Structure 1
Amino acid sequence: MSEERGDVDNQRKASPGLDPSGAVPYETTYHKGPVILRGDMIPDESTSEHLLRPDDSPDWLHTDPWRVLRIQAEFVDGFSALAGLGPAVACFGSARTGREDAAYVAARTAGGLLAKAGYAVITGGGPGIMEAANRGCAEAGGKSVGLGIELPHEEGINRWVNMGITFRYFFVRKVMFMKYSSGGIVFPGGFGTLDEAFEMLTLIQTHKAKSMPVVFFGSEYWGGLFDWISGPVTSHGMISAPDRTLVTITDDVEEAVRVATGAAAR
């Protein structure tokens, strides 16, 4: 019998558990890495035995501990790919925007201006606004990055991306946006766009991320949202008045690029 196997058996035998009244505490602790187990939670087999036991079922591939390794691998892949990217601006917006839409044209123009200013463009890699910003950047000879996400009904990385990564997990993808962007331009979009934009603003507001300029493009589209934020949200004390200054709203593409790259402050 292995020493580890003997420890499991001895600790299980020594543990009295709880009597029906709950008056007897657990006397034996089994250490399984950083986890402590007592009473009936002490396993029948050691970690080594579990690892070496033949198992024809692939179900272990879908367990939470294995997912942690996949998450770790996604972080490693993302950091490795983007570490040498240089200055970049994230461009968010709807995947549903058509190529004839004014917002598509604006995002394409912004992508080109960012590339000419020496900035990479980072998008979610999909169609619509994301394609437009990637397209403008690629056409200007810039670094056009797409951080895709595995979704059942979405297209893959658009063809204007010259560096693309597809993630399984939204939160890993968000870390990449935040870590490698020095500014953001938010074009008209829906829930996904709002999620990404307010994630960025929340991290800046709470000083969990470096301060960076965030631009919302399209005053008619975003005006109602920021009227609400400046009105009820501020008057009820849900944010502080200075928080409103974290955002610039504009209809001028060149201004959006100047602000997002920090040129407006220089």
Structure 2
Amino acid sequence: MASPEGAPVPEEQRLGPVLRRQDQVQAGTTDQRLLDSEGPSEWVHTDPWRVMRIQSEFVEGFGALAELGPAVSVFGSARTPRDAKEYDAGVRLGRALVEAGFAVITGGGPGAMEAANKGANEAGGTSVGLGIELPFEQGMNDYVNLGVDFRYFFVRKTCFVKYARGFVVLPGGLGTLDELFEALTLVQTRKVTRFPIVLFGTAYWSGLVDWLRDTLIAEGKASMHDLELFHLSDDVDEAVALVTKEVGI
């Protein structure tokens, strides 16, 4: 086996932590490939390059939020209309969280997210939006005063958890359920320090809670103790009090 320049290529090649042998050995050196201005550009779509993109997203997200202070992540549907009672609850919730000493983190989109950001912004607090690149662009709502856009859901999820002291979950769809069950799993498995999770809107969430108790737990897929991982509330002041009590603010 020889390189394009005719030099022999070794049977074993070490490129940092990567070991290549036989037909996996690459011709040339890493520096050579870096400095060569010619050649194919497909490398920008390879998995190693994506790792660098992922790393950069973590760096940008952590850098932007490192000095945020105590915060609560608020989840809810992007489809919540502005004239809905859930939107009004989101505004009041965002305002009350700021008055209790928290920054408010949302997904930065419209609907319930916009409502919580609006309440936080109008109360003079830090209103954070963690956006995500989607085929159907939503854009950052106008009430975000600190925003970060992500390509990767899992990087965004890490920031939701890392910089929050608790979660308040307004009625929402699949994305909201995704965030909710990830948070519950992290708390249940003790991958994170215990933090409060409040489901806001008992009429909306009661069917899910019934299913957890009557099916999931009844069939031995979870324990009754797991129902203690979250609270149900219809009252903004109570929801904020539950978060404040558990995080010690």
Equivalent residue number for residue 248 of structure 1? 231
Aligned residues: 245
* Residues in 1 aligned to 2:72 and 2:126: alpha-carbon distance in whole angstroms: 11
Q: CA deviation at 1:91?
A: 0.3
Of 125, 136, 142, the residue aligned with 2:119 is 136
Checking the alignment, whether the CA contact within 8 Å between 1:259 and 1:265 is kept in structure 2 is: no
Equivalent residue number for residue 173 of structure 2? 190
The alpha-carbon distance between structure 1 residues 101 and 265, as it changes in their structure 2 partners (threshold 3 A), is: same
1:23-62 correspondence runs (5 A): 29-62=12-45
Q: CA deviation at 1:263?
A: 6.0
* Residues in 1 aligned to 2:215 and 2:81: alpha-carbon distance in whole angstroms: 34
Checking the alignment, whether the CA contact within 8 Å between 1:88 and 1:121 is kept in structure 2 is: yes
The alpha-carbon distance between structure 1 residues 10 and 78, as it changes in their structure 2 partners (threshold 3 A), is: closer
Q: Output one character per residue of 1:51-96: Cα deviation in whole Å (capped at 9) or x when no partner.
A: 2333254332222222111111111111111111110110000000
1:143-222 correspondence runs (5 A): 143-222=126-205
* Residues in 2 aligned to 1:264 and 1:65: alpha-carbon distance in whole angstroms: 39
* Residues in 1 aligned to 2:24 and 2:77: alpha-carbon distance in whole angstroms: 49
TM-score (norm 2): 0.92
Checking the alignment, whether the CA contact within 8 Å between 2:195 and 2:247 is kept in structure 1 is: no
Equivalent residue number for residue 245 of structure 2? 262
Equivalent residue number for residue 96 of structure 2? 113
Q: Which has the larger radius of gyration?
A: 1
Checking the alignment, whether the CA contact within 8 Å between 2:94 and 2:116 is kept in structure 1 is: yes
Between stretches 106-115 and 234-243, larger displacement belongs to 234-243
Partner AA of 1:138 in structure 2: N
Q: Helix, strand or coil for the counterpart of 1:130? A: helix
Equivalent residue number for residue 22 of structure 1? none
Partner AA of 1:9 in structure 2: P
Q: Which runs of 5+ in 2 are unaligned?
A: none
Checking the alignment, whether the CA contact within 8 Å between 1:258 and 1:264 is kept in structure 2 is: no
Q: Helix, strand or coil for the counterpart of 1:76? A: helix
Q: CA deviation at 1:260?
A: 2.0
Root mean square deviation, CA, Å: 1.9
Q: Which runs of 5+ in 1 are unaligned?
A: 13-28
Does the alignment pair 1:89 with 2:72? yes
Q: Helix, strand or coil for the counterpart of 2:13? A: strand
* Residues in 2 aligned to 1:232 and 1:263: alpha-carbon distance in whole angstroms: 29
Checking the alignment, whether the CA contact within 8 Å between 1:92 and 1:193 is kept in structure 2 is: yes
* Residues in 2 aligned to 1:180 and 1:265: alpha-carbon distance in whole angstroms: 16
* Residues in 2 aligned to 1:264 and 1:49: alpha-carbon distance in whole angstroms: 53
Equivalent residue number for residue 11 of structure 1? 10
Q: Helix, strand or coil for the counterpart of 1:9? A: coil
- Sequence identity of aligned pairs in percent? 53
Partner AA of 1:237 in structure 2: G
Between stretches 207-216 and 61-70, larger displacement belongs to 61-70
Checking the alignment, whether the CA contact within 8 Å between 2:76 and 2:176 is kept in structure 1 is: yes
Between stretches 120-129 and 233-242, larger displacement belongs to 233-242
Checking the alignment, whether the CA contact within 8 Å between 1:94 and 1:130 is kept in structure 2 is: yes
Partner AA of 1:147 in structure 2: L
Equivalent residue number for residue 86 of structure 2? 103
Partner AA of 1:139 in structure 2: E
Q: Output one character per residue of 1:203-237: Cα deviation in whole Å (capped at 9) or x when no partner.
A: 11111111100000111111111101111111222
Equivalent residue number for residue 25 of structure 1? none
Q: CA deviation at 1:150?
A: 0.9
The alpha-carbon distance between structure 1 residues 136 and 30, as it changes in their structure 2 partners (threshold 3 A), is: same
The alpha-carbon distance between structure 1 residues 49 and 116, as it changes in their structure 2 partners (threshold 3 A), is: same
Partner AA of 1:158 in structure 2: N
Equivalent residue number for residue 237 of structure 1? 220
* Residues in 2 aligned to 1:47 and 1:164: alpha-carbon distance in whole angstroms: 36
